[in-house]
Chains A and B, each alone.
Chain A
Amino acid sequence: MERRVKLKTINPHITCKICGGYFIDATTVTECLHTFCKSCLVKHLEEKKTCPTCDNIIHQSHPLQYISFDRTMQDIVYKLVPKLQEDESRRERDFYKSRNMPCPKDITQNHEDDNEKVMDAHAESDFHRLDEQVNVCLECISNNFKNLQRRFIRCSSQATITHLKKLVAKKILNGIEKYREIDILCNEELLGKDHTLKFVYVTRWRFRDPPLRLQFRPRVEL
């Protein structure tokens, strides 16, 4: 199933002609598709305007605009040559460590982490203020429960029936964990716990005037 190949036979296709080593950050001239290391090619183009292999002129004034990262070739090199990627990473870290400088790749990583923190903080502060709002009137239809002191609610249309049950449980049963003992109905029809108020409004109160009138009662065991 696997095929054994000598690296000696493959080396001419995965080595840089400028430095003689394997490709590191393989970069290809887009016109003639010759590949070199990024650092070797950029240094070469600072002095000359031609491809090191075929001597064709890349561009008269801006040759750097006609080269591109060749990620496919770099992946092939890393997979063919054993331990090349680890060795290169270790060399880079040792270089920056010996000079007491942070590694640029680590800096990039930390910057991304900071962005994530900012986004998290921003996400927490929304509280559904900008959502579409729906007006609800909650009424009691049982003698076992007392009425809510304030029956009118304005909340996000993404709130679900479970949220309303928890609110009623907190107000009437003195404990939000008892929300399972409450049923909420609309037009004398029992509502599912995961229905959003938008869904309830659109399916059961579309042609009536607001507020959406919901009734609650103790849960009935069937």
Chain B
Amino acid sequence: MTSLDPAPNKTWELSLYELQRKPQEVITDSTEIAVSPRSLHSELMCPICLDMLKKTMTTKECLHRFCSDCIVTALRSGNKECPTCRKKLVSKRSLRADPNFDLLISKIYPSREEYEAIQEKVMAKFNQTQSQQALVNSINEGIKLQSQNRPQRFRTKGGGGGGGGGGNGNGAANVAAPPAPGAPTAVGRNASNQMHVHDTASNDSNSNTNSIDRENRDPGHSGTSAASAITSASNAAPSSSANSGASTSATRMQVDDASNPPSVRSTPSPVPSNSSSSKPKRAMSVLTSERSEESESDSQMDCRTEGDSNIDTEGEGNGELGINDEIELVFKPHPTEMSADNQLIRALKENCVRYIKTTANATVDHLSKYLAMRLTLDLGADLPEACRVLNFCIYVAPQPQQLVILNGNQTLHQVNDKFWKVNKPMEMYYSWKKT
């Protein structure tokens, strides 16, 4: 029984149909209806004693009905709320006797003793059937588990990623032999235990099947879902433009905050001093990380990375900075000026789309210089000689197919307020101009 009683101050407005509704004709011939105890059980049952209502008492606030003795006992034991919906129910003064309901019950079931006799007969039959079914289920489950155990053991020996511990779930669970059938209670308990084991085994096989189906059905989709959970410092640019849209936030790159002069800040930062002290640490960490990418064998640099970083401080600072100061960008080549036959695009290949997460106080000039430096580092010897000195124009796309060139000293915060306004990574385009 689900109760969705309206609030006390709800307006009782009538719809057009209700204003002119005709009454439903009452059936006055000798029509008989077959009343099954099961069908009306939820309406005529006391939720406290789970038996038919006796001397019905109804709560005024929510119109839930209980036996008189049951609700009085419940209120006396200190529960000052409706047992069904927990609305406030202070005392017996919030209850009303419901003689109409009692009369209705007496018309449906004239003899209460007869009703109770039927109930007992049903329960006895149910218990007998349940006992036999439990025994049969127990035997079947035992046979199934025995047959499943042999292939799993063979597979465990032959292959799989076992060994080393670490919480690996590849090992098969040991299944005990089914016990001999005994008393009905004991049989029921054993059956439930074996059912639990069987569910575990079937869950494992189900997950394996689902994994295989997912791989076979749509490899691209699983790639997208995997990419959406991972933020990486590497470039991940799918070859087609549709995929690049789907993985807009797949990878991010931290832009060095040290390159941002303090005088550029237009508004004083509301971040407290603890978080502001963590920013130089993170900047140093990024610097060290980038340096260690170039010389991976330098273990001393790795130690410095470990020493400089502190995940707790960084977590706190990142949480606060993420709300106020950080912004995400998606950098794409200009569709017309940087077409497929451009030298730089050919050299970049699939790395022409870049994903950046940086402070909102950075300016467009910072982005241009960052792109120049980054592409020089990435391409290295592959870069043609004529492109060694790079300069970029930065565009933003407020509408599709509409590109607005940006002024060099605008901050990303101003660009976001003026052109973007959507809670998504800002799409920007770069084009190359020769010095």
A28 to B18, CA, bound (A): 17
Main secondary structure of the interface of A (DSSP, over half): mixed
| Interchain CB contact under 8 A, B296 and A151 | yes
Whether the pair A150, B232 counts as a contact (CB closer than 8 A) is yes
Interface string of B90-128 (1 = CB under 8 A from A): 000000111010011001110000000010001000000
Which residues of chain B are within 8 angstroms of A5 by Cβ–Cβ distance? Answer: 32-33, 35, 107-108
In this assembly, does A4 line the interface, its C-beta being within 8 Å of a C-beta of chain B? yes
Looking at B194-202, B220-228, B262-270, the stretch in contact with chain A turns out to be B220-228
Q: How far is the CB of B319 from chain A (nearest CB, A)?
A: 9
Secondary structure of the B contact surface, majority rule: loop
Contact of A133 among B14, B21, B315 (CB under 8 A): B315
Q: How far is the CB of A131 from chain B (nearest CB, A)?
A: 9
Are A8 and B249 in contact (CB-based, < 8 A)?
A: no
Contacts of A92 in B (CB 8 A): 17
* Contact of A150 (CB < 8 Å), options: B15, B42, B64, B233: B233
B231 touches A39 (CB 8 A): no
CA of A149 to CA of B290, assembled, Å: 11
Interface residues of B in 155-206 (CB under 8 A from A): 159-169
- Interface flags for B26-50 (1: CB within 8 Å of A; 0: not) read 1111111111110110111000000
The distance in angstroms between the C-alpha atoms of A156 and B166, with both chains bound, is 22
Query: Any chain B CB within 8 A of the CB of A120?
Result: no
Asked whether B233 lies within 8 Å of A153 as measured between CB atoms, the reply is: yes
Residue-wise interface mask of A (125-153) relative to B, using a CB-CB cutoff of 8 A (1 in contact, 0 not): 10111101111000000000001111111
B309 close to A209 (CB less than 8 A): yes
Q: Which of these, A43, A76, A91, contacts B40 with CB under 8 Å?
A: A76
Interface residue B242 (Cβ < 8 Å from any Cβ of A)? no
For chain A, which range describes its interface: under 10, 10 to 19, 20 to 34, or 35 or more residues? 35 or more
Q: Which residues of A have CB within 8 Å of B386?
A: none
Q: How far is the CB of B34 from chain A (nearest CB, A)?
A: 5
User: Is there an interface contact between A167 and B232, defined as CB atoms closer than 8 Å?
Assistant: yes
Footprint of A on B, CB under 8 Å?
1, 3-6, 8-9, 11-12, 14-37, 39-40, 42-44, 58, 60-65, 96-98, 100, 103-104, 107-109, 118, 122, 159-169, 215, 219, 222-223, 226-234, 236, 248-249, 252, 254, 289, 293, 296, 305-307, 309-311, 314-315, 318, 322, 328, 423-424
* Further pairs besides A28-B63, A69-B5, A81-B24: 20, Cβ < 8 Å: A1-B37, A3-B37, A13-B104, A21-B26, A24-B24, A33-B96, A39-B14, A72-B64, A75-B42, A75-B43, A76-B44, A79-B43, A95-B16, A127-B249, A148-B234, A163-B226, A177-B215, A189-B164, A191-B166, A195-B167
